[in-house]
Amino acid sequence: MHRPNIAEPKTIVQGVGRSAGALVLLAALGLAGCSSSNKDALKALNPDPPGVMYSEADALLANGRNEAAAKKFEDLDRHHPYAQEARRAMVMAAYAYYKSGKFPEAVAAAQRYAVMHPGTKDAALAHHIIASSHFDEIKDPSRDQSAARGKPVCAAG
């Protein structure tokens, strides 16, 4: 009878051991190459406390660096979503975008806040930012109204 060519179990285990060792070696070499940016990796994994981040963003806003402040407020919300400062940072990001003249971003950030926290005292501020952003986009009636085309004022049904 003809016996099929099947590898011995001992050689299969040896082959798996070699390839696993090669993978470990490749991973170690890959991590060794990243050691120069170890400080950046630690910063990404362990950001500043929420109070510090909020203070930095607030200082940027006070110095007129509105867009940088908005990014910092968004970073606070991203890194510490359950912190007390994160909820306020959401609406402050919208305000900073509004102050920098980035009205679509301001509307998006304010709408996100209004949807997530509709009953808070800052919800009124979020709605005010939305309304002000839409109002400030209107320069004068003769301006291009393409953004308003295709949006019915009321749906007739």
Q: What is the mean pLDDT of the chain?
A: 79
Mean pLDDT, range 19-33, rounded to an integer: 52
- pLDDT of 110 reads 97
Q: Which pLDDT value is given to residue 137?
A: 86
CA gap 104, 123 in Å, rounded:
18
Supply the angle between the helices 84-99 and 123-137 in degrees, to the nearest 10: 20
Amino acid 47: pLDDT: 74
Rounded Cα–Cα distance for residues 90 and 103 (Å)? 15
Mean pLDDT, residues 119-137: 94
User: What was the pLDDT predicted at 157?
Assistant: 47
Alpha-carbon span 114 to 94, nearest angstrom: 11
pLDDT value at 108 more than 90: yes
pLDDT in tens, 78-101: 999 999 999 999 999 999 999 999
Domains for the chain: give ranges and CATH numbers: 46-137 (1.25.40.10)
Of residues 156 and 90, more confidently modeled: 90
Query: pLDDT tens for residues 36-57?
Result: 566 666 566 667 899 999 999 9
d(CA 57, CA 78): 14
